[in-house]
Amino acid sequence: MSKLKIVLLSALISIVVIIVILLFFIPLSQTFPASVHLYPYESHKLIFNDTQGSGTEILVMTSGGQVSLSLSSPTGQKIIDNVEVTSSYYYDFNAPETGTYMLCIKNPQTSGAEVTIHIIEERSLISFL
């Protein structure tokens, strides 16, 4: 085999390896932000889709009071159950199954609360295609 063929074959293999790494292994983040004002004893539900095994981060920040968080999987199983948040809360998990998840935020107080939520999903490029 000539040197030119070896160089071209090596370059082709390198390109294929780079494409596979980009498509399957380098995580890309997609952020879903939301802000809500919760009146006394009010609740808000945030619904999002997730893929089994994908890394997901939930960041909740509140000002003006305490809120309670619950996160349910597509089958209704509680992933987070009535966690109290007074300023900020961070939760990192791998989605146990593909489907629709529900984050419920409740204001158990007699005063209002401002809540900011960020749901960050890490996926490979192939899952976006």
> What was the pLDDT predicted at 24?
58
Instruction: Tell me the pTM.
Output: 0.69
Res. 78 pLDDT band, cuts 50 70 90: very high
Question: Among candidates 64, 107, 103, which has minimal Cα distance to 84?
Answer: 107
Task: Tell me what percent of the residues of the chain surpass a pLDDT of 90.
Answer: 31
The encoded tokens of residue 48 equal 């999002």
Domains located in the chain, CATH noted = 28-124 (2.60.120.380)
Mind listing the pLDDT tens digit for each residue in 18-74?
766 655 555 566 677 888 888 899 999 988 888 888 888 899 999 877 899 999 999
Say which residue the tokens 């960050």 belong to. 120
Contact 60, 46 (CB under 8 A): no
Res. 101 pLDDT band, cuts 50 70 90: very high
> What was the pLDDT predicted at 106?
93
Question: Among candidates 55, 58, 54, 56, which has minimal Cα distance to 46?
Answer: 58
> What was the pLDDT predicted at 20?
63
Print burial letters for 83-107: b (CB count within 10 Å at least 16), e (below 16): eebeeebeeebebeeeeebebbbbb
Higher pLDDT: 32 or 102? It is 102
SS3 category, 7: helix
> What was the pLDDT predicted at 128?
47
Res. 10 pLDDT band, cuts 50 70 90: confident
Q: CA-to-CA distance for 65 and 112, rounded, in angstroms?
A: 7
